[in-house]
Amino acid sequence: MLAKNVITCADHHHGQASRTILSGYPAIRGRTMREKADYYLENMSWLHESTLREPRGHRNLLGAVLTDPVSEDSAFGVIFLHPSGTFDGCGDSTFATGAALIEMGMVETAEPVTRFSLDTVLGKLDIEADIAGGVVQEVRFRNIPSYHVGDFEVALADGRRLTVEVAFGGLYYGFIDAASAGIELAQQSEPQIISTAQALWDAIGEATPLSDPQSGKQVSLDLFTFTARQQADRGSAYLAANVYKPGRMGRTPSGTGSSAHIALRTAKGIHDPAEPFVQRSLLGTHFTGTATRSSLPGGHPCVLPMIGTKSYMMGLSQLIVDPADPFGHGFIMES
């Protein structure tokens, strides 16, 4: 009986852990990736609840689930997961899933570079992986168009006035200069970083005063990113701390966040997108990227980033969801 409830997963990390769900679930239906994501949320949310939440996971665990592709030349479709739902885009899980597909022999590989594509809700992602001696050295993805949206000022209840620079890289990021917020970017500053992000969300409400230049819709921020510029021999380097609701600090530099950051600094004339852009987390992990200039259909400038890092396999697992388990759908214990 239990064999019918076996879910096979591959776990990777690059500071941030992400679990790629490979098998053990019904087909995810839909003609487009948006339809598949909607179908998943309506009919299969038990999957991320069971595999990413405690007791089988934890509240900072990310994930992805494979689907049939919707494009002829893509290897798979991917829906990005977190313990409470889905993301339209997620760089961390893109790195992990790309590495998992190669290491599990689920895509055709070639040395020194393996290439394939993945369908996502936001569009097709082209994947590149450097391979030496059968080992994945780095995974990179060509992201969707990323662009600066605009800036605005926020007055916090404690009297601080902060400038928020908004950019899109798959999710909407509000960039804050850490020094202007009185924050030293260090691991021990996590409580202050999170509380400042929550104060910003409280002050802003559900949406910012900005509209997306592509869709025209009012922008709601998915994350706040606190940054500090660092010395770089070439290009640009930044230390960054990303906070997402309901108050979690990311463990990595963020792939979609690095994309948004390249777009922001390029738009402001601070960074040449052809030069290396390095974004580091408070753990010391780093993502490296370059980009090419482009424009949206309406003419708004954007960049097409290529972001990469090394993602380490932690293990393979076969998870069981016992029908009698009172925590079969997991739980989230807030601190």
Q: Could you report the per-residue pLDDT of 147-163, keeping only the tens digit for each? A: 999 999 999 999 999 99
Q: Which helix (H) or strand (E) holds 96?
A: helix 91-103
For the domain covering 2-141+313-320, report its CATH number: 3.10.310.10
pTM of the model: 0.92
Integer Cα distance of 201 and 289 in angstroms: 29
What's the pLDDT at 334? Answer: 74
Note whether 2-141+313-320 and 147-295 share their fold. Answer: yes
What's the pLDDT at 4? Answer: 53
User: 3-class DSSP state for residue 303?
Assistant: strand
Model confidence band, residue 133 (pLDDT cutoffs 50, 70, 90): confident
Mean pLDDT of 70-74: 96
Model confidence band, residue 1 (pLDDT cutoffs 50, 70, 90): very low
For 170-192, give the DSSP string.
SSEEEEEETGGGT---SGGGHHH
Structure-token match 């679990």, residue found: 19
Mean pLDDT of 130-134: 91
Integer Cα distance of 33 and 38 in angstroms: 9
Average pLDDT score, the chain: 95
Least confidently predicted of 140-149, 164-173, 317-326 = 317-326
187 has a pLDDT exceeding 50 = yes
pLDDT digit string, tens, across residues 259-282? 999 999 999 999 999 999 999 999
Q: What is the share, in percent, of the chain residues with pLDDT greater than 90? A: 92
What's the pLDDT at 39? Answer: 98
Fold of 147-295: Diaminopimelate Epimerase; Chain A, domain 1 (3.10.310)
200 has a pLDDT exceeding 90 = yes
Pick from 219, 201, 196, 200: which is nearest to 149 by CA? 219
Integer Cα distance of 280 and 324 in angstroms: 44
Q: Domain locations in the chain?
A: 2-141+313-320, 147-295
